[in-house]
Amino acid sequence: MNKYLIFLVSTVFFMLFAGLYFVSLSAFNGEKKIKEDSLLAKIQKEKRLHVVLLDGKESFEYALLKEYADYLDVDLDITAVDSTKEALSWVNNTKIDIISAGITKTKHRQKDLLFGPTYLQVKEEVVCSRQIVQRKKIPRKIEELAGLHIMVSEDSSYSQTLQSLVDDGYDLSVQYAQGTSTQELLEEVADHSVDCTVANSNIYLKNLHEFSNLSAAFAISKHKELAWVLPKKEASLVKNMQVWLAQYKKSGKLQKLKKYYYTHISMSSNYRTKMFYKRMKTRLRRYEKYFKKYAKAYGVPWTLLAAMSYQESHWNPRAKSFTGVEGLMMLTRATARNLRVKNRLDPEESIWGGTRHIKYMLKIVPKGVKGEDRVRFALAAYNVGMGHIYDAQKLAKRMHLNPNRWSDLKEVLPLLSEKRYYCTLRYGCARGSEPVGYVEAILHYRDILENYLRLPLLAVG
């Protein structure tokens, strides 16, 4: 009997112990499973970051996302949208990891949305048509907006700002547009369909190269923070993002990225644009006939030649560089010799040589490059040499990018200055960042000139 009792007790204890073991093991596995099922773990396991993106691949937002994806060692999967409202409609979609649409952190939004760390501070700017500037009616404070037709997107942070001003008693004529993006509203202002709109300072700067007849009147808000929106149920990605962004800022890379996308554009679109307008009416008149003459002879738009020359020399025929290039088109001694240009400081000879040189670059751009990208590739080659463009294409292929698309090529061109890349390429080291800015600046000046020429009373010549 005692033996039976001992056996029974032993069996019960064994079963209890086994039960506790399996419960603890199950709890451990459950905890492990929860960790494995976190959003960050899912992204790393799938090797893919699913993003809703308002701006295209040539934007600051995309460049920053690409940097974060590289940090995670994953690929980007982009879902493109046309407005902030459309972007936020994806917030409950379980297939999306990040929403990137230049979204402002407001108290109202933070009640319902989970934001990542702040990556950019901006101000809301009142942006008006230059037609108002020409009439000397540019508003400089809120009271001076009275009587102007203002339009902003409905459900935007701008509409909240303006509505609060109306509630405070300011006499404003505001129209709230449904389903219209800030980009589209800036276009309406540029076309004089609307007097003014409101846009974040970064969006205004980004669009100046396309709509040169916009003018920032004044800031209507204090600094506001931009951040990505994430699924509210998940915090693992936010913590990871905070660590990455802190490191990215400390390295100075974030500042460089801002400088490239915003400071560079701001300089070329504010002070430089004003100077460009001024010199169109003075210096350009002296050389316009040569641009038109050789443009017709070689089938290159004269506005492109003029923009190239301005970027090279500011239409100063005696311009010289410490690298030895000189003249209106800043030809090197070797290039001038090959083109049979005897005097690089002679305006007509310089334009003649520069036209033939860009014509040749256009001819040898690889056949796979299509449309306007052929012009971009040729301009980059004019600046840095076609050999380095070929190298950049090879590097793009290695990085699984499209070697025939400018939006991809300009991502890899700056890498040509890094030894780990250029030592594996045929033509060696190059200051690859320069042709990227060079191309964007020329197309910016060309667009200004062509828009300017569409106004018959103001046309040059």
- 8 Å CB contact between 55 and 82: no
Amino acid identity of residue 42, one-letter, is: K
Joined together, the tokens standing for residue 368 give 């796979």
Q: Locate 450 and state its tokens.
A: 């062509």
- Encoded tokens for 30: 């459950």
> What is the CA 48 to chain-centroid distance, rounded?
22
Which of 312, 349, 411, 440 is catalytic? The answer is: 312
Supply 271's token pair: 């002070």
Contacts with 16 (C-beta within 8 Å, 6 or more apart), sequence order: none
Number of H helices, E strands in the chain: 22, 12
Q: What is the layout of strands, in order, in the sheet containing 124-129?
A: 173-177, 149-153, 196-200, 124-129, 214-219
Q: What's the rounded Cα separation, in Å, for the pair 242 and 247?
A: 9
Sequence-distant (6+) residues with CB within 8 A of 196 are 126, 127, 128, 129, 132, 139, 145, 148, 149, 150, 151, 189, 217
Burial state string for 322-336 with b = 16 or more CB within 10 A and e = fewer than 16: eeebbbbbbbeeebb
Is residue 188 among the annotated active site residues? no
92 to 4, 43, 106: CA distances (angstroms): 62, 17, 19
DSSP secondary structure of 386-409: HHHHHHHHHHHHHTT--TT-HHHH
Q: Which residues participate in catalysis according to the annotation? A: 312
